[in-house]
Each structure stands twice: as structure tokens, then as C-alpha cells.
Amino acid sequence: MLCTEILGTTHHGTYKKVIDVLFENKELGDKNFMRIARDGVELDIRLDCELQDGDILAENEFYVYAVKAVEKFPEKKKSSF
């Protein structure tokens, strides 16, 4: 899904379910990203402005895809095998 503008913010509320798109705080000033949202949807993000936590990047009939700023990406759990 191509994202070229910020559609709004979740801080003002939304009637759709919010799917997080994770970004580290240090990345919020960058302009171009490829991300996979928590539901597996691929997002190609190309913006002219800095991101902020809660920015809505895309939406469909049921969901909005919004920036979730984190200090550091969560570590993937290692297999015990």
C-alpha cells in the first residue's frame, strides 16, 4: 500500500480499528520507509514531512494504519530449539 500523505491522527479519535506501524523514535524525521504493519500489510511510505506518534498513514474499509513510536524495536523471541 502506497502512503504519500498523513491522513490525520489517532489522537483525535477514530471509528476504525487502529493497526500499529512501528517506528523507532530516531526514525521519525526520515521521509521514505518500507514497513510491514502488525497485520502483515506492506506499506511503502514516501512523505514530505516528519512523522509523529499517532499519524494515520493509510486506511481501508475497516482499519487505519498509524505510526506507533517506540524507543527501540522489540527483540524477536529466539526459538528454544
- Position 57 in a domain: yes
**Alpha-carbon torsion angle 68, 74, 77, 78, nearest 10:** 140
CATH number, domain containing residue 40: 2.60.260.20
Per DSSP, the residues of 5-26 read S--EEGGG--SSEEEEEEEEGG
Q: What is the pTM of this model?
A: 0.82
Residues 6+ apart with CB under 8 A from 58: 1, 3, 7, 43, 64, 65
- Position 48 in a domain: yes
- Position 35 in a domain: yes
- Position 33 in a domain: yes
- Position 30 in a domain: yes
Domain count, the chain: 1
- The tens-digit pLDDT sequence of the chain (81 residues) is 999 999 999 988 878 999 999 999 898 888 898 999 989 999 999 999 899 999 999 999 999 999 998 887 667 666 665
- Position 79 in a domain: no
* Domain coverage including residue 13: 2-70
